[in-house]
Chains A and B, each alone.
Chain A
């Protein structure tokens, strides 16, 4: 951060106004993309799925909880994990604040994971979260919607095989943090997925999986894009109660 260019307020304003034009163009492109997302076709979900929830077993339609839209984040928490992925956890840290606002926009917000419900419930208590967290354990759901890879699928993805055989340091640390081997750890896909419910039929409308620096990242990364140092790629989030001196 040293030796940054220092200017007068007038010089800064001139540079800032120029940047504002680009930011405005970007906002317009974003809005255009949002429109194009609304235009994606919908695919009726033909199969019956059941999920374990705090209120007992539910179908996909029942997960909508009386609303017509369902938006879910798939937290990497496989059946063999001892705890959820720290990066996913940091993303989940800001869901609670938005939950009530989305619920009043006809959107039910929840998270999916493949670990059994009791594991999710214990971790949720530890993190102090309130959003609904649903287990896709023992269901085809995660595999059908590419939220998880089967052993056979994993064996066929060369990039994942390379990561398992020659894991970078951060990935080994990550495997320690979630308490499992990479072979099963990398079977879970961090992703957002959206569904609509209309006249009793559930439709799949949208999926966005990692890697993505805009949406499948905790939103504080975008706040870091506005700080003097910016987003530092080596930065990896820790669970909020695992930072040194963490009190919450």
Chain B
């Protein structure tokens, strides 16, 4: 931490009140954004998706589990990963505790990944999580919702976070950096690791029809990293200069 700017309590209160006005202004903007999210049109899902779950094969409508809203965390765990992405794992640590509250607010929250179900369930046991986890192995779901990419898209370009990207080759071929580290951590190589990307999607069920209502990727997922909001209030902030620091909760020294 840098040398503190030390003040009297009165000076602090004056500075804090000024900052509070800005915090309140940001909250008003958050509310406005939440309204705009709800005003997005809905898109009816025409395709039949099936998922492997702990209760057997289910359709997208069946994943709602009797509720009318579904929140999906697109957890990076590709078919060739030996373990889930560490950052996605820290996100799952955070939302695991709140699933009960969402469930009692007409929202089913679960994770969906492309690895076969047995691998997801083994990892879930290791991590001690309770949320439901469905496998989209062998289906189009992840590709259609922008969180999995083909080898061809990696070479010649595709779209992520509502923007097109030209090619992933330079990132995949880099010897060092976060992608190389995460590939090692997930027991795969950079190309296989980068076939998956993180995201969240929301769906609504009306009668028999499922509608896609919202998706977010990249920085739009900060909200799922509960600890970031807390670090933002700690004296040293996110303090991220030294690169990746998040590990699986059972892998910290």
Contact = CB atoms under 8 A, between A and B. Distances in A.
Given A40-B16, A229-B69, A107 B6 contact: no
Interface stretch (A17-25, A133-141, A173-181): A17-25
A112 interface: no
Given A11-B41, A33-B22, A23 B33 contact: yes
A41 B4 contact: yes
B219 A7 contact: no
Interface in A161-198: 192, 194-196, 198
A69 interface: yes
A212 interface: yes
A13 B40 contact: no
Interface in B66-97: 68-69, 71, 90, 93-97
Scoring A96, A105, A196 by chain B CB atoms within 10 A of each residue's CB, the highest score goes to: A105
A66 B246 CA distance: 20
Contacts of A71: 230, 233-234
A133 to B, nearest CB: 15
Nearest to A128: B97
> DSSP majority for the A interface?
mixed
A101 B248 CA distance: 9
Nearest to B102: A220
B68 to A, nearest CB: 7
A99 B27 CA distance: 25
B102 A223 contact: yes
A143 interface: no
Interface stretch (B52-60, B103-111, B177-185): B103-111
Contacts of B95: 94, 97, 220, 223
Nearest to A36: B19
B233 A192 contact: yes
Contacts of B117: none
B101 A220 contact: yes
B19 A40 contact: yes
B98 A220 contact: yes
B208 interface: no
A9 B227 CA distance: 34
B9 to A, nearest CB: 5
B138 interface: no
A119 to B, nearest CB: 22
B206 A69 contact: no
Contacts of A1: 68, 204, 206
Scoring A36, A103, A226, A232 by chain B CB atoms within 10 A of each residue's CB, the highest score goes to: A226
A27 interface: yes
Given A40-B12, A68-B1, A226-B200, 12 more contacts: A7-B42, A33-B22, A68-B235, A94-B94, A94-B226, A195-B235, A218-B101, A219-B226, A220-B95, A223-B223, A228-B42, A248-B130
